[in-house]
Chains A and B, each alone.
Chain A
């Protein structure tokens, strides 16, 4: 191999390396920009294989044309009624105009996102100034202002981002609403106070209920005893009536005899050994001391 051949081979290898090194693939989800000495000379929108002149003549810059999502910084905002709120939003965006995007932020996604952050925060500040604190938390889906706020932020950010950075903002969403750390303690105290009220209410209700149960029982008991006494009286009355009926029946046979028998029974009961009796001589058997009565049977 002579020197000429050697140099030719070496030249061919170097050329091949240069050609291969400058063959670039642009993917389906990418944009490409070709810069010639810093000037944009070609925009590659379609995927495929492209060749460029070696650096520094040509420089290729690639952007991801997919939708990106970005969580904005947590910033403390003031509402119309001057209350603090932390609103965390997210923005989805994609590159619409790669040339404008490259010119405005140098194609650096971090730089753009810091600018987007500033843009969104500014818009949030402006829009939240139109709403009071309670608007954000108002009950009922129909009265909900969050969607309205999202729409307003979106419209504002979309217009500015498109105009300034060649970006199409596809969505702005409110990811989280929260209270500043300094206020959280107060909120917790309030939650505690609310709970204390509920706790006391439960105890009071329990006490009232217990008192009610006791009172109802007392009433029920009294009623029950009263009923029983009434019934007992009735039973006693019935007994007396029955006894009276029995007695009356016996009495009706011979009232005179009955009275006598009953009187004798009573006398037996009310007199005893120490009873002193004063009897007339007209009473048998002491009538014997006076005259002998004639006993005649009496028919009834």
Chain B
């Protein structure tokens, strides 16, 4: 009993060597594509990570088996041994180890496969998907090599009769798929570079989907095989086989069908289930019914509340009023067609600089986007940055659809033209100090005139001036103008503050002068009044006895004031030698005794 390993058969031995060469060839192909400019992600997309890891582990595994049993080399001693049948595998500890670690290797491959699949599915695909930058020649060579490899591979598969090694037999579909995917990727790149831009993303999507399906089947098989009783070392059915790939890529091979597998493993006879039998017998009538049903569905079209529609029969417009929201019946495709437009949805285009709004900042003094858009102003020596949203509705769907291939592009151009015309005449000061409502109203009128003239079928709802300011490159200078304005105001305020302080001083001084004068006034009046009052009292006394009172006053004064003074009494009759008086009279005349 050799369990399918007739190592004495030289042809099958050659088949094993051929398969090993093929693995090497496929690996070289991977390397070639890697060298020729594939990124890691390209590599994952094009070859399928599952296959790569399967190559890797299975190749090592099979090499050990091959060297141990076909060539008879001991891995423990490194010495040559005589070739032995695989039935004696238990004699070789290392080989036994390989079988023992098979579940672990399978699980590892599975784990890595799923992680990478999730990574690829989660990673957003750029739109448009960038093409590799290497020359098309590499893709052509890659495609040709892949196709050649696949043909060679099919040939080897047919001549080796799959009996050489079950391990190799199991990885054949993986190999085939990876080579086919490599070819598909290369062809996709070539097509995309020659105008079929959809080809590359579509083929990559196909590869990812296939990876997912195969990975799912591979996982299922691994789990099933893991719990299936195995008789080491005789049962060498690998954990990792895939029926789907075998059926699609190697249709000539004799593989167990899914039903056979389920029957063998779980004892369930799928073909005996009546529903399966019914489906197998009535497949074509059922298919026809389904196709008819699907076709009949094209007789109806639903126009949503925000939409209006146009009915076309064999390409010709047959409705001349817009179809209103609701259910509409029509002839099935392709005889009649209803084209729908979202006429009530307010759409927006931007005039001026554009960019990712989520990263837009609100300060014009720093650059908003990488690429600022400036309108040239009067005299061509000033620039102004403008960002305006134009909100519009589709007003006339017939004009919109039948007269213009790109009405939104035209609207955009009309908007730019209107802004250029409006801004080009003034300088920045004028434009910035315009009444902005009037400014926008003028632009709107101009745009509406041009829209009506070219029958765009668009109605402008509103124009929002998001920003209008000098370019951010000169923001510092504009800020310095603002600072200067503030400084000028500060200077004025400082002067006013000083003035207030000084005026207080002046007021104080003025008031002080007035107060002093008032005090003087009061004092003077009071003094004079007091003095006169005192005098009047004396005068009353004087009137009674004038001479006496005068004398009394005189004497009182002498008593009161001069009692301690030094008084010199001189005979008033004395005269100087020249007959002059020796003293002066206070009143200028000698006091009369009378």
In whole angstroms, what is the CA distance A229 to B513 when docked? 6
A298 contacts which of B495, B498, B546 (Cβ < 8 Å)? B546
The reply to whether the CB of A209 lies closer than 8 angstroms to some CB of chain B is: yes
* Residue ID in chain A nearest B504 by CB atoms: A221
The answer to whether B410 touches A228 (Cβ under 8 A) is no
The answer to whether B528 touches A242 (Cβ under 8 A) is yes
Q: A26-B315, A198-B484, A210-B492 are in contact. Are A187 and B383 (CB under 8 A)?
A: yes
A275 contacts which of B525, B546, B562 (Cβ < 8 Å)? B562
Contacts of B480 in A (CB 8 A): 195-196, 199
Q: A196-B480, A209-B495 are in contact. Are A293 and B593 (CB under 8 A)?
A: yes
The reply to whether the CB of B317 lies closer than 8 angstroms to some CB of chain A is: yes
The answer to whether B572 touches A259 (Cβ under 8 A) is no
Contacts of A151 in B (CB 8 A): none
The answer to whether A67 touches B410 (Cβ under 8 A) is yes
The answer to whether A221 touches B317 (Cβ under 8 A) is no
Interface residues in A156-193 (C-beta closer than 8 Å to B): 170-171, 173-179, 184, 187-188, 190-192
The answer to whether B379 touches A137 (Cβ under 8 A) is yes
The reply to whether the CB of B583 lies closer than 8 angstroms to some CB of chain A is: yes
In whole angstroms, what is the CA distance A231 to B175 when docked? 119
The answer to whether B525 touches A243 (Cβ under 8 A) is yes
In whole angstroms, what is the CA distance A123 to B375 when docked? 23
A29 contacts which of B402, B409, B425, B483 (Cβ < 8 Å)? B402
Q: A139-B378, A209-B492, A236-B517 are in contact. Are A267 and B557 (CB under 8 A)?
A: yes
The reply to whether the CB of B514 lies closer than 8 angstroms to some CB of chain A is: yes
The answer to whether B518 touches A235 (Cβ under 8 A) is yes
The reply to whether the CB of A246 lies closer than 8 angstroms to some CB of chain B is: yes
Proximity bits, B408-445, A CB within 8 Å = 1, else 0: 01100110110011001110100000000000000000
The reply to whether the CB of A66 lies closer than 8 angstroms to some CB of chain B is: yes
Q: Is the interface of A mostly helix, strand, loop or mixed?
A: helix
The answer to whether A236 touches B520 (Cβ under 8 A) is yes
The answer to whether B413 touches A231 (Cβ under 8 A) is no
| Other 16 A-B pairs with CB < 8 A, given A69-B405, A195-B478, A213-B495 | A27-B316, A46-B316, A90-B413, A146-B420, A187-B383, A188-B474, A200-B484, A209-B491, A235-B517, A246-B532, A254-B546, A257-B538, A263-B586, A271-B561, A279-B569, A282-B572
The answer to whether A206 touches B565 (Cβ under 8 A) is no
Q: A187-B382, A213-B495, A220-B506 are in contact. Are A284 and B554 (CB under 8 A)?
A: yes
Minimum CB–CB distance for B425 against chain A, Å: 5
- Measured CB to CB, the residues of A under 8 A from B are 25-30, 46-49, 64, 66-69, 71, 83, 85, 90, 92, 133-134, 136-141, 144, 146, 170-171, 173-179, 184, 187-188, 190-192, 195-196, 198-200, 202-203, 205-207, 209-214, 216-218, 220-222, 224-225, 227-229, 231-236, 238-240, 242-244, 246-247, 249-250, 253-254, 257-265, 267-268, 271-287, 289-290, 293, 295-300
Indicate the size class of the contact surface on chain B.
35 or more
The reply to whether the CB of B487 lies closer than 8 angstroms to some CB of chain A is: yes
The answer to whether B405 touches A66 (Cβ under 8 A) is yes
The answer to whether A203 touches B525 (Cβ under 8 A) is no
Contacts of A68 in B (CB 8 A): 404-406
The reply to whether the CB of B536 lies closer than 8 angstroms to some CB of chain A is: yes
Q: A29-B402, A198-B481, A257-B546 are in contact. Are A178 and B376 (CB under 8 A)?
A: yes
Minimum CB–CB distance for A92 against chain B, Å: 6
B487 contacts which of A203, A228, A249 (Cβ < 8 Å)? A203
The answer to whether B506 touches A239 (Cβ under 8 A) is no
Contacts of B487 in A (CB 8 A): 202-203, 206
Contacts of B377 in A (CB 8 A): 137
The answer to whether A202 touches B569 (Cβ under 8 A) is no
In whole angstroms, what is the CA distance A234 to B514 when docked? 10
Contacts of B525 in A (CB 8 A): 239, 242-243, 246
Contacts of A229 in B (CB 8 A): 510, 513
B474 contacts which of A136, A195, A273, A282 (Cβ < 8 Å)? A195
In whole angstroms, what is the CA distance A234 to B529 when docked? 20
The answer to whether A92 touches B454 (Cβ under 8 A) is yes
In whole angstroms, what is the CA distance A192 to B521 when docked? 67
The answer to whether B503 touches A191 (Cβ under 8 A) is no
Q: Could you give 18 example pairs across A and B, Cβ below 8 Å? A: A29-B402, A146-B421, A179-B380, A191-B474, A198-B484, A203-B487, A207-B491, A210-B492, A217-B498, A217-B502, A224-B507, A225-B509, A250-B539, A258-B539, A263-B587, A275-B565, A282-B591, A295-B551
